[in-house]
Chain A
Amino acid sequence: MSCPQWNEQWVAHLYGELETEEAGRLERHLETCVACREQLERLTESSRLLRRAAPVVPATPRWTVVEPRRGLSPAWAFVAGLACASVMFALGLFAAPRLDLTAGSGPEIATLDTARIVEDLDRQSAQQARLERRLNAFENRLGQPGASTVSGITEPELEARLDALARNFEDQRSADMRYLLGEITATEVRAGTWVDETRNALRFVALNNDPRFTER
């Protein structure tokens, strides 16, 4: 077993962050302690394996800034625009199967009502927060010993309720995303250009081999 007083120094030494004097003391210790030498070798190997296993990071998604609507606070317009634009790709995974990407004519031209969208987002967030609180309450009851017996509800019944809540939550989330994407594609910020970008983005999502999108 290695000497525990050197535990922190091992990792600092491994990554070359040990002070010169301390590194010297460690080296001298290693010359005489076989257990510590072996421990350092094991740590080095773990570090090497982890570095080799580093996953490839996909391309960073593109963020789009929407110009503020006249009369609306620029901060809120930016928040709404950034929120709406940047979830497009993720929302497309849920809503794209319901949209006809090959349709010829685009939606009617209208001004993006960022204030209303922000209000809707806030309302949906509040609904999700309420669902979350209910789930927390159920989870706390599940975690208490004998709770299900005291309340007269069996564990399978509690689990079934949790299951139903989870499905409700996911259904709500899917409905929120469909609604948001419907709002975005039904309006136009810049004449023509925005619609094309939206469609190209959705078409890109459609061409990805994501089973959640390609399933009918």
Chain B
Amino acid sequence: MLWMLLLAVWPSQSTNMLLAYGPMPQLDESLAAAEQKRIAVIDRAKKTGVCIFSKDGNGGGSGVVISPQGHAITNFHVIQSCGSFMKCSMADGVLYDAVIVGIDPVGDVAMIQLLGRNDFPYSELADSDQVRQGDMCFAVGNPFLLATDFQPTVSWGIVSGTHRYQYPAGTLLEYTDCIQTDAAINPGNSGGPLFSSAGKIIGINGRGSFEKRGRVNVGVGYAISSNQVRHFVDHLKSGRILDHATADFTVTTDASGRVRVDNILEASIAYRAGVRIDDELIEFAGRQVSTVNQFKNVLGIYPKGFRVSATFRKSKQGGELAESRTLKVFIELSGVHDQRELIEMVAGKMKTQPSVPEIPIPQPKQDQKLDTSMFLSREGFANYRFNRVHLERVWEKFAGRPTDEVSADLSAWRLICRDEDDKEVMVVLNDQQSGYRSESVTVVLDPDRESLQQLVPEGSGGLLLALQQWRKLMLNGPRKIGDSIYVGSLPATTFGEADQGQANEKKQIMVEQLTTIADGMEFRWLFETSTDPAMTPISGNMVAMELIPEPDAVPCQVFFSNYRRDRGVPYPGTLIYRLGDGPAAKLTIERIELLEVDGGE
């Protein structure tokens, strides 16, 4: 009897515990804090995710906003059948209109712009080279098109591999240097972001390995690295259809495991610089190369037109390597495709197929008017409107006036210069008959002779033609002198240290490029911009120009510096020119005289 009394008065806690399933486990404080942090990071990141729907509701995918103006990155294969305009939902519950901006079909990347706001939540593109196997990561997107409530799906995992290679379908959709993850990537996740545990974009999800289990995740997804996307961002903004890079040489592994050149185009810059078959490739674009896969990986992340370095160990006759002879060259990467070929391939892929909608398209809350002025069609462009916008922006920043405004004063220019030996050089620039006079050389352009015969002064590759066009550009603006387009931004360091006084090897200088086709020749104008392509340019000055008189010709490069502005018009104080990678010659401009030239008889 006594024991029943004892039981009755036993401390109630233990009775409660006996009634429950035993003592509740306490979550360690640091774990609870980590969990809260993860929740906060995900909450912020998912707000920048985008669910993309095509107009007819056929399929869909994901994307991520990377600027407050609404620029968003996605996969090319997500938007290829969407047409020029599409609908995008974000986690705030709003369905936005979006317009196509630029496409990179080879690398499977596309840029669109969401419309209607200047303050979109956005995420930053991180440095994907810092990512390691084992790092935690998460994907945000719309797998299986579940986001009918506009809330994207989040899946968590780790980085399973880095610098992976996935074969293309034909020549498109090649994934080089990509990130592999076991975070669940399923159909619908394509185009969406892969975030680091800190909430920065390390990749754009787009592919996976599938086999016997069908097209559902089996723990192997692939994301285009954010560094590859960063190389293309400005080019995508230009509204063009982009091409990937090829190096004009191919490599193979020899019997001793070394990477050697097995084929090279004689018309290429590399060949002209002295690269030959059997030379060993040891560095490309700043990366050490010890396998062919590494070379393919690093080549695949660059757009056509980028310039990169390549280092070779020269082989002696008979294939033995001379250890001490290394050759470093700067190569402008040409395109994988012929421009025509690329346009046709893309046009074929982008035909919208009429079909029955598979999912109900979420309806916008209000009847939003579509701003059709955001799209301008032009052959060879995904959206020409953006190209015009950037062309105007770059020109106006530099020249201080819009592209359709011509300078009031159309006089000829006379440049009084001193060369490096302090001897006088005079350059007169006119519309057609420019002239150059130094102590030893006097040349004048003859408009009746072919330009290609007049690449004078001798050894400059066409300095006079280049400067003649330069003056025309300065007076008339890019749209009046020929067909001009905005290309995008490029790193400038690989143009070489033309001015020895500049200690800018360490700084990652970028330039924005405009290209003009005039008189059958290609002129490139390069304007300084900041190191971070997302920021506005610093001075916007034209730091260099290039004349390519005919395809595959060695370019004539001219570098402008020491700018002064006179009545808002920028004039350079120093001019450095060279032919390709040859020695540079410097001209210090003491003064520029505007010459009254009457119409004449």
> Are A and B a genuine interacting pair, yes or no?
no
